[in-house]
Amino acid sequence: MDASSDALSSALLDWYDAHARDLPWRSPPGAPPPDPYRVWLSEVMLQQTTVAAVKAYFAEFTRRWPTVKALAAASDAEVMAAWAGLGYYARARNLLACAREVAAQGGTFPDTEEGLRALPGLGAYTAAAVAAIAFERRAVVVDANVERVVARLFALDTPLPGGRTEIREKADAITPEARSGDFAQAMMDLGATVCTSRAPRCLLCPLSPHCRGRATGEPERFPVKAPKKAKPARNGRAFWIEREVDGEGHVWLVRRPGKGMLGGMRALPDDGWSARADGSGEGPLAGPWESAGMVGHVFTHFSLSLNLSVYLGNQCDSLAQEAGEWWPLDRIEDAGLPTLFAKAARLALAETGEEA
DNA sequence: AACACGGGGGC
DNA sequence: GCCCCAGTGTT
């Protein structure tokens, strides 16, 4: 690190000492690092997910499972249901796999970037972040915030994702030996609160004297990104099947396959829209069906219009051979349905409620 | 290198 | 509506 990089990291750390965000998974600037379990859990939750969305989930997970051993002992169903609504459900599957691997090693996380990188769900970013934040290792932590800050600092205009190599080299060059965890978090806080995607607040930025992006007069132009692909529209059906069990209303829920869309999550039965681009139209029963309306939902790579069909027949017994369960309607909120199916359930309950 | 993979919030 | 977000794993 040359003198200029040293001045830059000092300016950033000074700013962090004064302006660090107070977050539930953090220690104050300069304080001993937090429990690696909490650092890891928060980092996985924060992958492609906003701080605001994570806070409630982090509180609930750490309340129910205070240690990695406790989490490792939880059932798949409990953890998947607790993750419901947070999205990217492969994270939850990997989270549990990782917890069990760590628990099997005595409940202690590896304390090096390489060791962490070998665990399920820890890629280049998360391994570096946990190594730096929880174990005070020097690691080059590059997330979307750091990409934006670095691209602006050096006015890097090679479009992403190709430009990531260059961004990483520059990030490495400015990462200090000491306090690299605070440095990483400072970069992320700066990106989140000052060097924002739109309308960066350069007047508040501790790095503005060093910033070539600002010198161009158009800092918001960086980083340059490749054009987005169009999002196709898909259609599908989901099925709402009620029956009385012990005098209480229940609905038929299934467990989705372990991989792919909403993998491993509890769900309404559907016609296979996720696997086939458009569903077969077939339901788990012959019918009759009545449409309760449409549910719209946008996923990462397509938009879905889901027709919700309510069962009007009384041949539910044939479902006994299918894999699924009758779930009590008055506890539907606890089923751990991903947002798409939670929306569908709200629609069904509103419709069938009016009929009653 | 490209694609699959959720959901919510900002404007 | 479009863009963005503390990315990872698979092909």
Tens digits of residue pLDDT in A327-340:
999 999 999 999 99
Tens digits of residue pLDDT in A30-67:
899 999 999 999 999 999 999 999 999 999 999 999 99
Chain B nucleotides covered by protein, CB below 7 Å: 1-9, 11
Q: How far is CA A285 from CA A269, A312, A322, A346, in A?
A: 10, 10, 11, 22
From first CA to last CA, the distance across chain A in angstroms is 72
In a domain, A226, yes or no: no
> Is A43 one of the catalytic residues?
yes
Tell me the C-alpha distance between A144 and A333, whole Å: 33
Residue given tokens 């200029």 in the structure block: A4
Residues 6+ apart with CB under 8 A from A222: A148, A151, A152, A155, A156, A157, A213
- pTM, whole model, 2 decimals? 0.96
Both A250 and A183 in one domain: the answer is no
Residues 6+ apart with CB under 8 A from A335: A81, A253, A266, A327, A345
Nucleotide nearest A50 (Cα, C1'): C5
Give the Cβ contact number of residue A150 at 10 Å.
27
A202 touches strand B (CB under 7 A): no
Question: Which segments within A312-353 are labelled E, that is strand?
Answer: 325-328
Nucleotide nearest A91 (Cα, C1'): C8
**Stated in angstroms, how far is A169 CA from B1 C1'?**
20
Q: What is the number of domains present in chain A?
A: 2
Domain extent for A340:
233-355
In a domain, A351, yes or no: yes
Both A52 and A166 in one domain: the answer is yes
Both A183 and A35 in one domain: the answer is yes
In a domain, A257, yes or no: yes
On whether the CB atoms of residues A308 and A320 are closer than 8 A, the answer is: no
Both A202 and A305 in one domain: the answer is no
CATH of the domain at A149: 1.10.340.30
Instruction: Cis check for the bond before A24: say yes or no (omega within 30 of 0).
Output: no
Residue A98 structure tokens: 């990782």
Residue given tokens 């999002």 in the structure block: A231
Residue given tokens 């419901």 in the structure block: A84
In a domain, A105, yes or no: yes
Tens digits of residue pLDDT in A130-175:
999 999 999 999 999 999 999 999 999 999 988 999 999 999 999 9
In a domain, A227, yes or no: no
Residue A144 structure tokens: 């979307």
Mean pLDDT of A175-204: 96
Residue given tokens 């040359």 in the structure block: A2
